[in-house]
Amino acid sequence: MTQRAEGRTVAILAADGFEEVELTSPKEAIENAGGVALVVSPEDGEVKANRHREHGIKVPVDQKLDEAKAEDFDALLIPGGLFNPDALRVNQKALDFASAFFAQKKPVFSICHGPQVLISAGLVNGRKMTGFKAIQQDLKNAGAVVSDEPVVVDSGLVTSRNPDDLPAFNDKIVEELCEGKHQAQKQSVVA
């Protein structure tokens, strides 16, 4: 086991209805690389996963969103699922939290429907991205340059399509986490 990410801490922004494997698999990859992955949520106590459309496990919340600060973390992970992004994208504190990682030039990782949070935060214009097939047009409409690939990396922003792409997504998460800040990470490009 390599400890490449030792000393690095990732905030996993999640609400009820996240896709279980899109949180658990990257979390395991981060921890296997020596990093720490903490669940940050507007919820208190624990958040409930979905496995596709069925109920999944419950995951303990490590830190309430109200108390979380981007400067205390090295990177941000936003898992997908149908309900998680919907809850987060209408929560101003979640949008501000995500925006702070871009402002601080820290890596941001998002999979499946997770990029919808970044759309609502106004963070995708001009960025190379991918996402679940059903949201790719939404990404384009928000100004992203979209390609239908397993993983797309754009200066510290790592996006992926679905659980089938998790091996490649997890590899890029660890790689980008180890690289640290990206000076080219930006909030948005004005069209």
* Residues acting as catalytic residues: 112-113
- Opening angle at CA 124, ends 151 and 9, nearest 5: 65
Rounded to an integer, what distance in angstroms lies between the CA atom of residue 65 and that of residue 72?
12
Contacts of 80 (CB under 8 A, 6+ apart): 18, 19, 22, 110, 111, 112, 113, 114, 131, 132, 162
What would the two tokens of residue 149 be? 């690939």
Q: Are 155 and 101 in contact (CB under 8 A)?
A: no
Rounded to an integer, what distance in angstroms lies between the CA atom of residue 59 and that of residue 68?
17
Q: Label residue 63 exposed, middle or buried (CB < 10 Å: 0-12, 13-18, 19+).
A: middle
